[in-house]
Chains A and B, each alone.
Chain A
Amino acid sequence: MRKLLITVAILLAVHTAFLVFSPRGTEAVADPDATRVGIVLDVGGRGDKSFNDGAYAGADSAMKRLGADIRFIEPGEGADREAGLRLLAAEGMDLIMGIGFIFTDDLIVLSREYPNSNFAGVDFSVGTDEAGNVIPPPPNVAALKFREEEGSFLVGALAALVGNSKRVGFIGGMDIPLIHKFEAGYRAGVKHVCPDCTVVAQYAGVTPEAFANPGRGKELALSQYQSGVNVIFHASGATGGGLFEAARATGKLAIGVDADQAAEAPGRVLTSMIKGVNAAVYDAVARVDGKTFKGGVYSFGLAEGGVGYVYDDNNRALIPDAVHRRVEQIKADIIAGRIKVPSTR
């Protein structure tokens, strides 16, 4: 017994000794005039190399260029989203952002309780009433929406034109309507240039974990490649890491999503469907910084440069000039409204 008590005493002493350490010396003093922004990330969290990292990159450049003071929270379970937003709102942040459609309800609740704070939601889900009219978000909430189907249409066309196979692949993360938008646009793009092609579409899972499961991503990619698919587009967050690994292993092609993912499998990334989360986040911070922030729906598509595809030195060798011209023509047609891109499967 005494031995145990002594153990407790020793451990306590060690712990107390550690408490004295303070590597920073003094607390960094924040600039009182800086725009203060709080961001609650999606379940995937930092390090997914697409959606959340895009938001982080946008915030990071706002920190550097605008001198904004930005805090991040990564929630765990469902109730943490509201808790995170609340924590930030209670600190009187100038702008509070939720990254992901799942924050929609939480943002609406918080924006009513803090009518003097600004809120923004990436992929904020804007509802419609029974007559089909759009219900606008609360006046202090900016809904940052993307027309992912337009960018997906372009990479779909590209996949079919370059792939040299009647089968093209798609890997989604969680099997939900938001990801179906990517698939719908992609399918339509493939069919537009190759009506008798088939799209092999698979999803990594049915829980939010499906966005963070590279093992499953690799499994799906390998089976698709083996079935005669030469190009696979993914919309699956960190799960896509497995696709790139499979592309490196088999020498076939992959298409990245959200950000330029060329570095994930050098020479094997045909292109990436860019979703400008970083630009949208930066934009929102800049508006608050410039005191021009307004609530409402902001829709980013090809015309606004909110979505697009990568064509640069990394992938120019993979895309023949004729194909590039054709895709640019399709892009112009979409912007001009000559091609209607479906957003549901």
Chain B
Amino acid sequence: MSESFRLRAEEALLPSIVALLIALILGDVLILMFGESPAHVYSRMIEGAWGNPYGFAQVLYKTTTLTFAGLGIALALRAGLFNIGAEGQLAAGAFGAAIVGISLPAGTPGLVAVPLCLLGAAAGGLLTGGLPGVLKAKFGAHEVIVTIMLNFVVLALLNWLIVERLRTADTLHTPEINAGAVPRLSEFIPAFHGSAANVTFFFAIAAAIWCWWYLFRTPGGYALRATGLQPDAAEYSGIRVGRVWIKAMALGGMLAALGGTNFVLGYKHYYEDGFTGGSGFLAIAVAIVGRNHPFGVVIAAFFFATLSQGGLAIHALVPKQMVEVLQGIVILAMAAAVPEVQRALRSARKVVAA
């Protein structure tokens, strides 16, 4: 029993450690190429991300968006669908939340306003995620193409609305919301002062727990996973695959869209064009590195958030692009090296069992 537990833990952790070490060593080489000392750069990075309360809170802020978007992608992947639309879904969600927040009268109590804003965000995700799901189920349109193209449609539409309809002076954002703002974490933990981290972080954790419960503890989740593993077999056993696809994409879109509330309800209190800055694409890596497991997604989101925040702190030493390269290497190492390592592990276990 304890032996098998140890094996399972090793199987889950060792591949990630190997991938991380490979990435670190390649990072060492890169840093040396820039004429800096790896120890110095890495320690600055860790210090910038975890070494002070502000940096750590910023990591939590970034974790929130990435967790939501990563969950949205992971859920769809569990159903065998590749949702590349998280970037547009984040924006649509943020915009939906902002529109609801602006429409509400000032002074609306938070207990009413926040859920309404979350619903607004979810509605944005339902549209942008549900549509590719319906097209896939009804017409067989490939969800990768549809979600990629929908990103452009959504971002262009929102840009037009901001620039031509809602703009405030010569900036690129909507007016501030009247209600629905959630408190920042710094109100409870003064050391986090100035950081954008806010209560939506707990919403993200709750969303991860809900995802886990839904995927592994409900019939709907079972149908979703069965569809992802083998759609034909799922269909044969009585699961209506088309419906599962629509549901998975709609839910995934809604989850990703909720990530937009981190910025709108928790940080700036308005929707700003281009605030996502590629988080929706980074979230694909979060989902893959997190192995499409809700809790894995949270851990991976925290890891990538750390890289991003730590990357800011080392700007004076190495170019921004180096951090991006490092991120790329981690993703590659995790995605490519890991299955190999796992196969090796599986054969090792056979040897142990025999």
State the A residues within 8 Å of B (CB). Answer: 1, 3-5, 7-8, 11-12, 14-15, 18-24, 43, 45-46, 71-80, 82-84, 86-87, 90, 101-102, 104-105, 113, 125, 127-128, 175-178, 206-208
* Residue of A with least CB distance to B42: A19
Q: Say whether B315 contacts A19, CB under 8 Å.
A: no
Binds A, one of B169-177, B221-229, B241-249: B169-177
Whether B58 pairs with A127 at a CB distance below 8 angstroms is: no
Nearest CB in chain A: distance from B92 CB, A: 14
Q: Is the CB of A1 within 8 A of B274?
A: no
Residues of B175-219 whose CB lies within 8 A of A: 194, 196
Give Cα A176–Cα B273 distance, bound, in whole angstroms: 10
Query: Do B274 and A78 have beta carbons less than 8 Å apart?
Result: yes
Chain A proximity of B286: nearest CB distance (Å): 14
Interfacial residues, chain B to chain A (CB-CB below 8 A)? 7, 10, 14, 17-18, 21-22, 24-25, 28-29, 32, 35-40, 42, 48, 54, 58, 61-62, 155-156, 159-160, 163, 167, 169-172, 194, 196, 263, 267-268, 272-279, 308-309, 311-313, 315-316, 319-320, 341, 344-345, 348-349, 352
| A24, A83, A104: residue with the most chain B Cβ atoms closer than 10 Å | A83
How close is B184's CB to chain A, nearest CB, in angstroms? 12
B32 near A125 with CB under 8 A, answer no
Query: Are B160 and A206 closer than 8 Å at their CB atoms?
Result: yes
Q: Are B163 and A24 in contact (CB under 8 A)?
A: no
Verify B170–A207 contact, CB threshold 8 A: no
Which single member of A22, A23, A207 contacts B159 (CB below 8 Å)? A207
Contact sample, A vs B, 22 pairs, CB 8 Å cutoff: A1-B348, A4-B10, A7-B18, A19-B39, A21-B37, A23-B37, A24-B37, A43-B277, A73-B312, A73-B315, A73-B316, A74-B315, A76-B278, A77-B276, A77-B279, A77-B308, A79-B267, A80-B277, A80-B308, A87-B312, A101-B170, A175-B159
Q: Are B21 and A83 in contact (CB under 8 A)?
A: no
Return B60 CB to nearest CB of chain A, in Å: 11
Give every chain B residue within 8 A of A21 (Cβ-Cβ). Answer: 28, 32, 37-39
Distance from A345 Cβ to chain B, minimum over Cβ atoms (Å): 11
Q: Which 9 A-B pairs have the closest CB atoms?
A: A77-B277, A206-B159, A78-B275, A18-B28, A22-B37, A11-B21, A74-B320, A19-B39, A1-B348
B351 to chain A, nearest CB (A): 9
Interface centre among A7, A14, A73, A207 (most CB of B within 10 A): A207
Q: Are B163 and A176 in contact (CB under 8 A)?
A: yes
Q: Given the interface contacts A15-B28, A72-B316, does A79 sit within 8 Å of B171 by beta carbon?
A: no
B11, closest chain A residue (CB): A1
The number of inter-chain residue pairs (CB within 8 angstroms) is: 147
A1-B10, A77-B278, A87-B312 given; A23·B18 CB < 8 A: no
Q: What chain B residues lie within 8 Å of A19 (beta carbons)?
A: 28, 37-39, 42
Which of A72, A83, A175 lies in contact with B58, CB distance below 8 A? A83
Cβ A71 vs Cβ B316 within 8 A: yes
A83–B39 CB distance below 8 A = no
Pairwise interchain contact B172-A176, C-beta atoms closer than 8 A: yes
Q: Which residue in chain A gives the minimum CB-CB distance to B316?
A: A71
Residue in contact with B163 in the complex, picked from A3, A4, A83, A177, CB distance below 8 Å: A177
Pick from B38, B48, B276, B345: contact of A1, CB below 8 A: B345
Q: From A23, A80, A83, A127, give the contact of B169 (CB < 8 A).
A: A127
Decide: A84 and B312 in contact? CB cutoff 8 A. Answer: yes
Q: Flag if B18 contacts A87 (CB, 8 Å).
A: no
Bound-state CA distance A11–B209 (Å) is 35
Starting from the known contacts A24-B36, A125-B169, 19 additional A-B residue pairs (CB-CB under 8 Å) come to A8-B18, A8-B21, A15-B21, A18-B28, A19-B28, A19-B42, A24-B37, A72-B315, A76-B308, A77-B278, A78-B274, A78-B276, A78-B277, A83-B58, A83-B309, A84-B312, A84-B315, A176-B273, A206-B273
Q: Which residues of B contact A23 (CB under 8 A)?
A: 32, 35-37
**In the complex, how many angstroms separate the beta carbon of A177 from the nearest chain B beta carbon?**
5
Please judge, given known A-B contacts A4-B341, A79-B263, A178-B170, whether A207 and B37 are in contact too, CB under 8 Å.
Answer: no
A89–B248 alpha-carbon span in the complex (Å): 45
Tell which of B38, B170, B277 touches A177, judged by Cβ atoms closer than 8 Å: B170
Nearest B-chain residue to A74, judged by Cβ:
B320
Docked complex Cα distance between A176 and B164 (Å): 9
Q: Closest approach, in angstroms, between the C-beta of A25 and any C-beta of chain B?
A: 9
In the assembled complex, the Cα of A89 lies from the Cα of B308 at a distance in Å of: 19
Measured in the bound complex, the distance between the Cα atoms of B61 and A78 in whole Å is 12
Tell me, in angstroms, the Cα distance from A127 to B32 when the chains sit together. 46
Partner of A45, one of B14, B24, B160, B320: B320
Chain B residue numbers with a CB within 8 Å of A128 are: 169
Residues of chain A with a CB closer than 8 A to B167's CB: 177
A79–B196 touching, CB < 8 Å: yes
Q: Which residue of A lies closest to B19 (CB)?
A: A11
Expressed in whole angstroms, the Cα–Cα distance for A177 and B169 within the complex equals 9
Q: Give the residues in chain A near B268, CB-CB below 8 Å.
A: 78, 105
Inter-chain contact A86/B54, CB cutoff 8 Å: yes
CB distance from B163 to the nearest CB of A (A): 6
Contact among B14, B54, B275, B341 for A77, CB-based, below 8 A: B275
Q: How far is the CB of B350 from chain A (nearest CB, A)?
A: 11
Cβ contacts under 8 Å, A43 to chain B: 274, 277
* CB of A86 to closest CB in B, whole Å: 6
A76 and B18 contacting across the interface, CB-CB below 8 Å? no
Q: How far is the CA of A284 from the CA of B133 in the complex (A)?
A: 54
**In contact, A207 and B169 (Cβ under 8 angstroms):** no
A14 to B32: give the CA distance in the assembly, Å.
14
Q: Closest approach, in angstroms, between the C-beta of A29 and any C-beta of chain B?
A: 15
- Nearest to B15 among chain A residues (CB) is A4
Residues in B with CB closer than 8 Å to A87 are 48, 312-313
Identify which of B32, B61, B278 contacts A79 (C-beta below 8 A).
B61
- Which residue of chain B has the shortest Cβ distance to A78 in the bound complex? B275
Q: Smallest CB–CB gap between A99 and chain B, Å?
A: 14
Bound state CA distance, A318 and B155, in angstroms? Answer: 41
C-alpha gap A12/B25 in the complex (Å):
9
